[in-house]
Chains A and B, each alone.
Chain A
Amino acid sequence: MRVFYRKRVKLKKNNRDQHNDAQHLKPLYSDLEQNLEMLHMLYDDCSDVVFRSFLIAGKTKAQLIYIKGMANIEEMDSNVLTPLMNNAEYSAINAKSLIEQKLSVAEVTKLESFNACIEQLSIGNPILLLENEQQGYALGLAKWEKRSIEEPTGELVVRGPREGFTETVEVNTSLLRRKIRSPQLKMKSLKLGRYTQTTIILAYIEDLANETLLEEMTQRLSRIDIDGILESGYIEELIQDHSYSPFPQVLITERPDTAVSSLLEGRVVLIIDGTPFALIAPTTFFALFQSAEDHYHNFMISTATRWLRYLFCLISLLLPSLYVAIITYHQEMVPTTLLLTMIDSREVVPFPALIEALLMEITFEGLREAGLRLPKQVGAAVSIVGALVIGQAAVDAGLVSDHMVMVVAITGIASFTVPRYNLAIPIRMLRFPIMLLAGTFGLVGIMTGLLAIMTHLSTLRSFGVPYLTPIAPMKGKDMKDTLIRAPLWKLNTRPHFTGDYNEYRQAADQKPDFDKGGEE
């Protein structure tokens, strides 16, 4: 095993060296022909790259290079080609004055190497190369098709902003900047992925985010060396603390308001180009139970909803197991009248309760998965069949009992009350081993399973923060936004993750009161 590992390391090194030695790191030549030759060679067989040569004022040779579909052609015509070609007044052309006087383009970047050229081209910016100039110019005329800002479908709220992140990193950063106007909102940019060169923005608020957290995040990101990053999941899997855990150790959100509230708590947000999902670290188990809405509604209602979620999370994890355990091992626990009805309904079922439960739960999960992937046109078919399979038809067929149908239905609904899909999934998954334990050991088995899960959860850490904070380790102060959602005027301190932190987030004693009326 160790030998294999060493080999792999070597391989990695070789790859990287090759990669770095590529020719495109070289600086630009002063000769236009030589530059063009180089670019042609790099973009050999790239039919989407357009080379347009022209003469400035009929004299100086120039070349405009852009990628089809990514540059704004009208703007190029009117603001670049027209003023440059038509003007015959220029005799001795100095590149600097030309750019300053004639080009009506807001963003112009100087390019000194082929590498920079490639980068600008792939963003969509056209580049302008001139004769006898050792530098080129990238014109900020990129324009490509992008999705407009829509309501995030994964995290719906009744009350709250309706905007969601999109696939474009610039749009996403602008959404953050619009909410946090302070220049202390920092956005470090880096590129990951050998071929995709995906932009990743590391956003944090200076003085709020812990220094060591930032360092750790930067270090973990810098370790990543893969060919491509297509979604935030790639990053998540490569930076999380514990790989062998079904529980999410990084929070995922589509909502700018959730991202901003995390930033204000001193967390770090990663925005990844090409996906509407931003990553938030560190996160805790209980943070995954919070919905953006919790802070928009009345605190009493939010507290009640939060408890409802905790309850239904437990139901989603345990209800089928409890049913199986009690009906096969602990019949004395059921009230007599209920037991008699249960027995009546189970009388014709040929399977043990465990098999019955597994059958139904697996069917339900199958239906759920099918429902996700289904083309819209056949969606109705599945819901009809689903209603039959998990319903009266199954009971009439003598496969399952009435109560099992109830249990499966409630469990199914319960798992969707967890506001984060990536937390709901492991809970749904862990239901099955616990069901097996319940079917073999009864309630003792369920307790064993729960203990194992608790042990696992308490060993987890997210960027050094214990996963079960603030319950274990107990932090009384942070409890105010965990088990309950305290009123806003009570939420004076930020949650404490690790090390020093900027403790107070608002002025104390802001409870509205008659004595504090506006008239003084």
Chain B
Amino acid sequence: MKRSIAICFICMAIMLLTGCWDRRETNDLAIITGVALDKTEEGLIELTVEIHSPGGSGNRSEMGGDSGGGKNKTILQTGKGVSLADAMEDLDEKLSRQMLWSHAEAIVISKAFAETGIRDELDFFVRHPEPRLRSYIFISDGKAKEIIALRPSLERSSSEVLIKLAESEVLMKVTLFDLMEMLKGESGTSVLPMVAKSPREQGKAVLETVSYINRSAVLKQGKMIGSINDQLTRGVLWFRNEIKESIVTVKPEEADGYISMDILKGRTVLIPEMDGHRLKMTVKIEMIDDVIQNQTDWNLKELEKLQMLEAALAQKIEQRLTDTLEIVQKELKADIVGFADEFRRKYPEKWKKEKADWEERFATVEVTFDIEAEVLRTGRGSAPQ
């Protein structure tokens, strides 16, 4: 009996001794929703975080009626330092609350920063237990701080805008994890979405506008070397077999207008071939589209017309891919289309030799296309001609 009482007391003491060392009440937390990384002129790292500002339940009634800017309950805070961790310490001094990084799902890096290399600083995000590997990475055209300082009217915060933009998958969607993989990949190149501020409407406050993704940044060994526009980005997505959404408008020969098609399904297979010193790559694409607009007087029920349309579609895609390849292969000399991994997979032994000067070799890869386009749904109804 005495023993069981003693055990009871010991158990209770154990519970008290820990002192709840990991406990963090939400009232003592600053929830970071977005991160912006900039470089100052002195070469220091400028870390700006977007923090959710808790309204408290008293504010709830105001939230409903007030529209526009009133909804945005975020504040910005900036810290500077020689490294990201140093900047964070500086930031910590300026904040009354403990930072919670778990919900920082958007990381914006300025172009200037990216050009000097992001690999070293990303180490912080990977090493720290709180930030998510699934957070989205963006490169900003101007200062990154300006992107997350925006006050969008549709979403609650600018980081939420960024997250939704990435998730819509119209252009690139790159998470921290993807970026790590790209940096580690055979080619050492990576491609990231670029965000820019949309021009503000007249009569609106400076910050009352949104950011949008319009280009993609190309990085080599973690350093930004250039960017490609939205059309080329879609081309890259085709190569990478990541295409989700793409509307193609073609004007078949003999037709009197344009026909637009939306992609239902697209699949790309890269087939590498090493013929002595020559490198060849066959890009095999299968795509299924449906017609979303028909300006012509074509009746697409006719097999002949349909085949012509399909041919035009395949040709259009091929054109787009060739254009992409032109820029990527010749101008940027960055293998962001994933050829390196394919070669390594098929010729692991020979690849070891190629890897050393892949940058040069990549430009010499002869690419042939094998595109199979199918228009599945032509649509029955049509505006009277």
**Which residue numbers of A lie inside 8 Å of B, CB to CB?**
1, 327-329, 331-332, 336, 339-340, 342-349, 352-353, 395-396, 398, 401-402, 436-437, 439-442
Contacts and interface: CB of A to CB of B under 8 A. Distances in A.
B54 A331 contact: no
A151 to B, nearest CB: 45
A436 B31 CA distance: 26
Interface string B13-24: 001001010111
8 contacts: A332-B130, A344-B55, A346-B26, A347-B26, A348-B58, A352-B23, A353-B25, A353-B26
B294 interface: no
B55 A336 contact: no
A336 B105 contact: yes
A359 B357 CA distance: 69
A343 B22 contact: no
Given A328-B24, A329-B24, A336-B105, A345 B18 contact: no
Given A329-B23, A347-B55, A437-B15, 4 more contacts: A343-B31, A344-B54, A346-B26, A347-B27
Interface in B198-256: none
A96 to B, nearest CB: 64
B105 A344 contact: no
A332 B31 CA distance: 10
A483 B60 CA distance: 44
B102 interface: yes
B59 interface: yes
B197 interface: no
Nearest to B101: A332
B15 A331 contact: no
Contact of A349 (B24, B27, B52): B27
Contacts of A347: 26-27, 54-57
Interface in B91-130: 100, 102-103, 105, 130
Contacts of B156: 340
Interface string B51-88: 01011111110000000000000000000000000000
B29 interface: yes
Interface residues of B, number: 28
Contacts of A328: 20, 23-26
A331 B29 contact: yes
Interface of B: 1, 15, 18, 20, 22-27, 29, 31, 33, 52, 54-60, 100, 102-103, 105, 130, 132, 156
A343 B15 contact: no
A212 to B, nearest CB: 33
Contacts of B103: 331-332, 336, 339
A342 B58 CA distance: 13
Contacts of B25: 328, 352-353
Contacts of A349: 27
| Shortest 7 CB-CB contacts between residues of A and residues of B | A332-B102, A347-B56, A347-B54, A336-B103, A348-B56, A343-B26, A343-B54
Contacts of B33: 336, 340
A442 B52 CA distance: 24
Contact of A401 (B24, B57, B102, B130): B57
A331 B130 CA distance: 10
A505 to B, nearest CB: 45
B274 to A, nearest CB: 46
Contact of A331 (B1, B24, B59, B132): B24
A331 B102 contact: yes
Contact of A343 (B1, B18, B29): B29
Nearest to B1: A1
Most chain A beta carbons < 10 A, residue from B15, B26, B103: B26
A437 B60 CA distance: 33
Contacts of A353: 25-26
Contacts of B130: 332
Given A336-B103, A436-B15, A440-B15, A343 B52 contact: yes
Contacts of B54: 340, 343-344, 346-347
A441 B21 CA distance: 9
B31 A442 contact: no
Contacts of A352: 23, 25
A342 to B, nearest CB: 7
A401 B29 CA distance: 16
